[in-house]
Structure 1
């Protein structure tokens, strides 16, 4: 009886060790996959606060929460099952899907740039339309949330595809575990940061009302800096869309052995690495900037095609 119990305990210990090793594998795979998707995460965190701004303070966090729940639905109901099905039955399709998503990011970023330039030159679009003025705050909020969730679907799809490509050589169970961890961790990180950003001005107002001179000064600085922070985030988000989208296209071209553009970019990166004291940082910046140029070119072509389609409204 004692020997049977000892054998059972040995089996339990062996299973626990195996589970721990599997968990370590999943965690390591998730960390690797998440690090590869960091560019899209930056873009997501930079783009989303704009959807929660312009509402009363008590509605800002509920809106962020709604968008976060929509992001989790996107990932767990659609993107995660789709990614695992791709991995099981059509792994060859991951790179083309990544490239299509990358092209869409380039298109969106280029449209944002064109809109910003157009609005700077022509202020006609700054006046709200009659339809917008007639909407209730609840309708506007619902539209904003729906738009944010649609944008999140594209960005989350890119995150999942990048993560899947990173762990494609691992067993199916490790892939599934890594994608679940990446989905949870990045959603929590992105929307935690977004919630902090949208409430930063309220935190500043609260601090400005305190008795402490330091607290008041910090509060006023926060309130004054928020418009600049939001503007910077908008620029960073657009730049990230170009760099990430262009980088995905460049890696896809490499995958299909179309080496001309990737080889040129890698050569420029190596030259920057050797020519600058910053070394690897200069190489990465060169690669990112070159990828953004590729993204801008691709985005410009797609914008031209889309806007010249028959029946397309001006």
Structure 2
């Protein structure tokens, strides 16, 4: 009997350790996911365009297909790459993170420049202008394009998450990164599914609602969705510039160039202490985020010519060569 009690005590102790480990993984994954806010919001803002032009009953299957591709990107390709990087070349994480931050700045600045008429933005390659006659082929091409775009954003997300995870053992890092991958993918594409079906829900409520209030809410949803999508794009762009700029500033500090970071900190501190005590924390955070965003925008504007004249032509030459030859 005493042996059974001892065994049960051991099982209970193991269960407590396992539960604690799960809590640690979820907690670390949540914090790491928050660090990747800019790329996450941009992912959610970009994806709905890939289901535009399709029948309503094909929207959710396309999103599900992209979701599975996103999970494959993160879990099959990027997770092992991130763990290998952490184990064998941790010194590469900061430069890669800064590269990802620069890309976020470039993307955000290009969107701003496009709105201002200073840049053509992300125009597709001329070879992609042809639309397949077969809807299933068009759906396949759209899904592949979305998954390819997701790979870039997922690489940024996983790199940011990897840098935000406290140093621990291999299995804890693997579990945390896997949790980040699943958490972010579900959040992003669950949100996308709600967004793309919201106008259908609104139309159904407007046409079939029994109460006038229900029909009014439905009409409001239908009329409000275009504005909401624009707002989501604006918020996503601002978040990209903020996160990208802060990554670069923090990376410079790690490399020994802390003057800009100290300047931003001092400015945020001064603003925080110039407002009532109740607003001090928010004022400091907002000031720092705003300055990081402005820095990100300025850096992105500088990077636009490099991206459009050098990086984009190389990208198209590599990834569109097969399509051109096939055509």
| TM norm structure 2 | 0.85
Give the whole-Å Cα distance in 2 for the aligned partners of 1:190 and 1:99. 23
Distance 1:255 1:129, change over 3 A: closer
Distance 1:13 1:309, change over 3 A: closer
* Preserved contact between residue 87 and residue 168 of structure 1 (Cα < 8 Å): no
Match of 2:149 in 1: 151
Shift of 1:34: 2.2
Aligned residues, how many?
307
Match of 2:177 in 1: 179
* Preserved contact between residue 67 and residue 148 of structure 1 (Cα < 8 Å): yes
Shift of 1:38: 2.7
* Preserved contact between residue 109 and residue 297 of structure 2 (Cα < 8 Å): yes
Shift of 1:310: 11
Q: Deviations over 1:254-282 (max 9, x none)?
A: 11121122122212221221223432222
Match of 1:98 in 2: 97
Match of 2:321 in 1: none
Q: Secondary structure at the match of 2:17?
A: helix
Match of 2:47 in 1: 48
* Preserved contact between residue 37 and residue 243 of structure 2 (Cα < 8 Å): no
Match of 1:107 in 2: 106
Give the whole-Å Cα distance in 2 for the aligned partners of 1:161 and 1:211. 50
Q: Deviations over 1:80-123 (max 9, x none)?
A: 1111111111111111111111111212222222333339x99x
Shift of 1:71: 0.9
Pairing of 1:74-85 with structure 2 (within 5 A): 74-85=73-84
Match of 1:293 in 2: 294
Distance 1:31 1:129, change over 3 A: closer
Q: Secondary structure at the match of 2:182?
A: helix
Shift of 1:11: 2.5
Q: Secondary structure at the match of 1:78?
A: helix
Match of 2:325 in 1: none
* Preserved contact between residue 272 and residue 283 of structure 2 (Cα < 8 Å): yes
Give the whole-Å Cα distance in 1 for the aligned partners of 2:19 and 2:145. 41
Q: Spell out structure 1 runs of 4+ moving beyond 6 A.
A: none
Q: Secondary structure at the match of 2:43?
A: helix
Q: CA RMSD in A?
A: 2.6
Listed as ranges, the gaps of 5+ residues in structure 1 are none
Shift of 1:311: 11
Match of 1:132 in 2: 130
Shift of 1:7: 3.0
Shift of 1:78: 0.9
Match of 1:265 in 2: 264
Shift of 1:55: 2.2
Q: Deviations over 1:209-233 (max 9, x none)?
A: 1121001100001111111111111
| TM norm structure 1 | 0.88
Listed as ranges, the gaps of 5+ residues in structure 2 are 315-327
Distance 1:310 1:89, change over 3 A: closer
* Preserved contact between residue 35 and residue 161 of structure 2 (Cα < 8 Å): yes
Match of 1:57 in 2: 56
Distance 1:286 1:50, change over 3 A: farther
Shift of 1:188: 0.9
Distance 1:312 1:131, change over 3 A: closer
Give the whole-Å Cα distance in 1 for the aligned partners of 2:312 and 2:206. 53
* Preserved contact between residue 47 and residue 237 of structure 1 (Cα < 8 Å): no
* Preserved contact between residue 47 and residue 233 of structure 1 (Cα < 8 Å): no
Distance 1:312 1:38, change over 3 A: closer
